[in-house]
Amino acid sequence: MVRKMTETIKMWVGIIGIVIIVGCVVFWLTLAVVDPPPSPAEGFVIPTLAPSAGSILPERLSMLSAAPPDCAGYPTGITSQDFKVLPGADTSLVVDSSVHPWTVSPGGTTEMRVLVTNANAVPVQSATVRLESGGGIFSSSGMMAVTGTTDENGVFTTYWQAPDPATRGYQISITATKPGYSKATSILILHMLNT
């Protein structure tokens, strides 16, 4: 009797294990379906945060909905009514970035813009923004890192030059700080052509 119960338990554990494995495989295959990247000439806004209330200014929404599908799978047709004002969120910084062009040739240059807002999507002026790359140089510093401040629209703009030869891609770490606000961080991935 005990032996039969042990065999029955082993059988059910095996069946449950197979169901879990199949479920995981289906889940990962579903995640692997991604839209192809845009052509190098297109360039578009690449949000660096998961969609959340107040993470993107309403005037940038039209750029998102008009852009090709991005890596994060942002939905198109977003309107400003989709965003809610978060009470007490005026001291939390949010970082959003864009790159043009999105892909770069070895030795090529791309423009990077970092938008810093509070969680209610209000631009934050004079925030300190630091970008660090794993290669290449920023034109304003001549180094792999650059620090600057946001303008009256909450935007900091810089240019990054890819090394030559280059690897397939580079990760840019972005940090935004301002006294009285919580720090915000983000990561931007640049893709290289012909590597």
pLDDT digits (tens, 9 = 90+) for 10-41: 787 778 877 777 665 656 555 544 444 444 33
Flag whether 70 is in a domain: yes
Do residue 137 and residue 176 come from a single domain?
yes
Based on the domain organization, do 96 and 163 belong to the same domain?
A: yes
Both 74 and 150 in one domain: the answer is: yes
Same domain, 52 and 122: yes
**Are residues 7 and 60 located together in one domain of the fold?**
no
- For residues 61 and 14, membership in a common domain is answered with no
In terms of domains, do 29 and 51 share one? no
With cut-offs at 50, 70 and 90, classify the pLDDT of residue 185: very high
Tell me the residue range of the domain where 13 lies: 1-33
Residue 63 has pLDDT above 70, yes or no: no
For the chain, how many structural domains are there in total?
Answer: 2
% of residues, the chain, pLDDT over 70: 64
User: What is the model's pTM?
Assistant: 0.56
> Residue 114 falls within a domain, yes or no?
yes
Strands of the sheet containing 184-192, edge to edge, are: 103-104, 184-192, 169-177, 128-133, 145-149
Model confidence at 9: pLDDT above 70: yes
Q: What is the pLDDT of residue 88?
A: 53
